[in-house]
Chain A
């Protein structure tokens, strides 16, 4: 029982990341009708926003302290980050909270990236075949990841979580299980809450604002919305930018869990696409549901007990589920009728 609960929890945070990326993908697909293979790259860009923010904050000023000497007799060098030198305790606090703070950087950056991508490239591909969309965004993903690689190098760059949430909680003990069995890092709880918050915000935005209403109408029937005299394309640009922000935020907050490197986007992209397909192309609740579901399934499949029965299952479970779902229920879990059916 407790083992199952532990795996359930472990699956949730990964599922949260899948759900966030898949949400953006579905949003783009449902409104613009574009298959965006560069969405994983947006996730990666978000993660590197956090890296950049942290790097900026930890720019150091080097002062020498003549009263102390090193083992070689030269004056001791003291490195203090500029923010600490200028802002004192507040600077230290900022450095500590650099990951959550970099959300502030990530939102405008990702909005801009999304805007430029849509206006500069995706716009021209609305009318082209899906194969062309896949190909051009695939090319874009390669370009983005190579640029990041050229700037930040090929090695993963670990990002610390704030000290307050650095440890792990023994939540099993709180619910009456044996202590020390169900141990769950605080940051993963934060990530889970954050994912829930973002997903809730996106749904609320679509459900309760006029803008969201127009977008939903556009997802259902874009021609009619256009005929009603609404400039649907402009809204779609905003939708694309929002999807980029969602992916970027997912990346920012994921950095303490997985040190970002340039190909993390591609790794997540393939899985997120599978998630979208399992959830049903064009269905937002489906994407979220499938994201968590697959995350949990993956974590169950990596249990030693399961691996003993079916060796290698942890490596292929997600793809296997996708194949089964596509064959048994082609529309996915919650896909609407008539979306992307040939």
Chain B
């Protein structure tokens, strides 16, 4: 993607992206994704992956514990709902602040090491948070049941004192469900994307890339990489916390399973699939995974028989038997296979694939691309 950057090109790029995101309900409708619940997920996980990419894509530090920040964001959002009222704005702000503090603490410790040690440390912290949320911290997290807003909660500034109906976050009277919820998430995503774009282009972003390229050289030039990586880690944690808050804004329930390490693995997957180090890649990867998760897990043997109905019986039966492994309950199998294929054949993710295809068509820009789609550093 953007090989030559100028403020003008960035602005155009951003406007095109904004229009594309805001019109998603229209142009995604033909492929069966034009309904708000799924679109909200696209925006939220896109945000999550964008934040993760700020750390992994730029500095090359592979965190395996990012779901912890998502969980912290969710819990603090729900607590804000409980204490202050159902307005999403304070919830989002509180979530960003708490997850930022949390990320500062974890990052300060974890970033003392790099490479696989860093991955293990973040994984250890995330597992600790998850285990604690399940056991000892039950008074705060409500353990296995999950934390939800109750009618008996104080909700100090809540205007609506309706006695019946479910408690839904509302922004000055607009309920955060359906398309309103999606547009709220989309606007947050756009703001976050704009910030990410600024970071990519800023001197700070170049410093982060320097960390990835060669940390030793950076040390020799007299620069200390730690403040830069720590800042990236905290920003990335804040993005994750914001995504967690959005999850609760669209559905006010926070559970500990959001912090499990498989959830951390999922965001890694999204980023890699789309293309680490590119701006658009992670969002694309997140949307793709959520879309296929939604489509594939809805399939069952019956729908497969309908799809392959045109085949003669003796072929249809084995085809259905094999494909049914990959859909429905077995959707994770598809995910695993896809993941392996991407890492093996397309380390730069789908964005690299696109740029390869693009290069086939126009030879002229074949000299200098590689904006960030190189192998991650240790």
Which A residues form the contact surface with B (CB < 8 A)? Answer: 35, 121, 124, 128-132, 134-136, 138-143, 146-147, 149-150, 266, 270, 273-274, 277, 281, 311-312, 315-316, 319-320, 322-323, 326-327, 330, 340, 342
Contact = CB atoms under 8 A, between A and B. Distances in A.
B337 A131 contact: no
B280 to A, nearest CB: 20
Chain B contact residues, majority secondary structure: helix
Interface of B: 60, 62, 109, 112-117, 119-121, 123-125, 127-128, 131-132, 134-137, 215, 261-262, 265, 268, 272, 325, 329-330, 332-333, 335-337, 339-340, 343-344, 347, 375-378
B156 to A, nearest CB: 31
B339 A319 contact: no
A273 B117 CA distance: 10
Contacts of A136: 339-340, 343-344
A136 B343 CA distance: 6
A143 B340 contact: yes
Contacts of A142: 332-333, 335-336, 339
Contact of A139 (B340, B375, B377): B340
A326 B121 contact: yes
Q: Which of A128, A131, A273, A322 has the most CB of B within 10 A?
A: A131
Contacts of A149: 329-330
A342 B62 CA distance: 14
Contact of A270 (B123, B325, B336): B123
B340 A140 contact: yes
B117 A277 contact: yes
Contacts of B116: 35, 130, 134, 281, 340
A146 B128 CA distance: 26
12 contacts: A121-B340, A131-B119, A131-B376, A135-B268, A136-B343, A142-B332, A143-B340, A147-B333, A311-B136, A312-B131, A323-B121, A323-B124
**Which 9 residue pairs spanning A and B have beta carbons closest together?**
A312-B136, A142-B336, A139-B339, A315-B131, A146-B333, A139-B340, A143-B336, A319-B124, A136-B343
Contact of B117 (A131, A315, A330): A330
Nearest to A124: B344
Contacts of A147: 325, 333
B117 A274 contact: no
Contact of B347 (A132, A266, A270): A132
A131 B62 contact: yes
Contacts of B109: 323, 327
Contact of A342 (B115, B135, B339): B115
A129 B62 CA distance: 11
A342 B215 contact: yes
B131 A150 contact: no
Given A124-B344, A270-B261, A312-B136, A146 B376 contact: no
A134 B119 contact: yes
